[in-house]
Amino acid sequence: MPNADARLKPGTFSRVHIETARVEDVLTLSYSALQYRYGVNRVFVVAGDRLSVRELKTGDRIGERIEIVNGVKPGEQVAVTDVEKLADGQKVSVSRNVE
């Protein structure tokens, strides 16, 4: 980084924001779909008529959405309501809201 006027001092730190035209595709979920237990973020994936718990590795949170790095795949159905009341193996029925 050019420092012609010597405003940047050795050993100091700064935070910068670099805007680029690059757009990365990332998987996100509504933050409210996550259940936090014992230091672990997890979600409930619908597998047939049962729920299957999955531990998640998360990334950045932007507003009400959070990046999912590992744990679920695009296209998998995830429970998004009443997640604090859900349990692994619980029987469920799926309803689709069409507006």
- For residue 32, what is the domain's CATH number? 2.40.420.20
Whether residue 95 is contained in a domain is answered as no
**How many domains does the chain fold into?**
1
pLDDT of residue 98: 56
In the prediction, which pLDDT does 68 show?
96
Residues with Cβ within 8 Å of residue 70, at least 6 apart in sequence: 56, 57
Q: How far is 57 from 41, CA to CA, in rounded Å?
A: 7
In a domain? residue 17: no
- Residue 23 pLDDT grade (very low, low, confident, very high; cuts 50, 70, 90): confident
Please state the pTM of the whole predicted model: 0.71
Segment 27-77, tens digit of pLDDT: 999 999 999 998 999 999 999 999 999 999 999 998 999 999 999 999 999
| 97, pLDDT greater than 80 | no
